[in-house]
Amino acid sequence: MNASQHAANHQTSIFRTWWPLAASWLLMGAELPAISAVVGRLPSAEVMLAAFGGVVFPIALLVESPIIMMLAASTAWSRDTASFRQLERFMYVTAVALTVLHAAIAFTPLYHWVVVPLLDVPESVQAPALLGLRIMVLWNLAIADRRFRQGALIRFGHRETIARGTAVRLAATFLGLWICWRSGCSGIVTACLSLSGGVLVEALFVRARARLLLPAPLQAASTAPQPPRATSLLAFYVPLAITPMLILAMQPIAAAGITRMPLPLEGLAVWGPLGGLAFLMRSVGIAYNEVVIAHADDPGAEARLRRFAWGWGLAISGVLGVIALSPLSDSWFSGAIGLSPELTRLGSATLWLAVPLPLLTFLQSHWQGLLVHRHRTRAVTGSVAAFLVVASVLVLGGVLVGRWNGLEVTLLAFTLGNLAQALWLRWRWHAEGPARPEQPAHGIAAPEPL
């Protein structure tokens, strides 16, 4: 077999690992556009889209952020029954604490004291946004329980349950959208009930499957009488939790910036549908991170993985570019989402700024996967800090200048922030990636101190 055939075989192997993960992420990426499409056709669409995409969803994600990495933690930590139960207790304590925080924002004056002035929420948006936050009060418990059990299922080879859970969640979300539509619910009730209901149904499905599938392998793996100390668990999890917290902190920062620049209500209304399309196109690149980790030890892996990232990243960015620079963008915002002509023009005029994001996401996943494979997790946290600093400075600059509409400034800030993140990861990989530390005795990649 010649060299070209070997290269083709390696690319095929990478593709076979990638496409199921990419398909699962695409399914999840379809959720928010579907919600926006329904809300965009209900009364007071502009206000309801602004409430959901500009206030409720960013705040819910920010509160949730410390438990997002529960899946990765469980995949690594749930080695036996004792470790599984230890992490389960930690998960419940964390999830309850975050639920209390969410409830405090939604059911006490904290919303009007902190959220409204911090985000400068328009008056017409304040009441529906508060209702949406109240509807989503169980969001954190459902997310934490689901991701914890998903991680253990992945560790013991039950990946098919994850894909089935995603399908169950989407089915529940779409059913919720249909029921709310037929019942005449408001846009914010439709969005929040459908989204939180889908997550809750998925959590119950995963919990039922985990109860059936996990006891036997956990018991069979139980060799040590005691799990690692709780301090070891904290040292392992805290660095993991910081990364999504930094990323998701940008969501309320973006909303706060949009409301302080020209066209605040319009910008908030378009931000959700535009961000949903951008995430849908980026999602297959996010899935590439696990592919890189899985293939990092293959012969000549770095070059082959890099070619795959550039090839598919340019292809997906090209598709988004065609949408952005053609009448397809109007079809998305007006036909698919149902926005008014004014909001459609705003979205179509801004979408081109998101064109580099799919490519940047593939490149980030490439270098991040290599660094994580080498146990260089501190470099990943540093890259997210670079993203947050660059994006926040640009949003702040737009607020201070006050001449450009907030949607354009914020999307440009996100794109340049992602560029800074990719460049940081590339720099750290070339600076420290090739050397690999010893594997920890317990089989978990040891987090570096922050």
Task: Considering only CA atoms, give the Rg of the chain.
Answer: 22
- Contacts of residue 401, defined as CB under 8 A and 6 or more positions apart, other chains included, come to none
Mean pLDDT, the chain, integer: 86
Angle at which helix 377-401 crosses helix 357-373, to 10 degrees, equals 150
**Most confident of the ranges 65-69, 104-108, 373-377, 402-406:** 104-108
105-134 confidence digits (pLDDT tens): 999 999 999 999 988 899 999 999 999 999
Residue among 353, 328, 388, 367 nearest 278 (CA): 353
Is a pLDDT exceeding 90 seen at residue 219?
Answer: no
Angle at 364 between CA 380 and CA 251, to 5 degrees: 75
Rounded to 5°, angle at Cα 281 from 277 and 284: 140
pLDDT at 443: 36
Q: Would you say residue 439 has pLDDT above 70?
A: no
Burial class (CB in 10 A: 0-12, 13-18, 19+), 11: middle
Contact call for residues 106 and 128 (beta carbons, < 8 A): no
User: Do the beta carbons of residue 50 and residue 189 sit within 8 Å?
Assistant: no
Domain ranges, ordered by start, for the chain: 40-221+229-242, 249-450
For 258-316, the pLDDT digits (tens) are: 999 999 999 999 998 998 899 899 988 887 877 787 778 888 888 999 999 999 999 99
132 vs 113: CA distance, rounded Å: 17
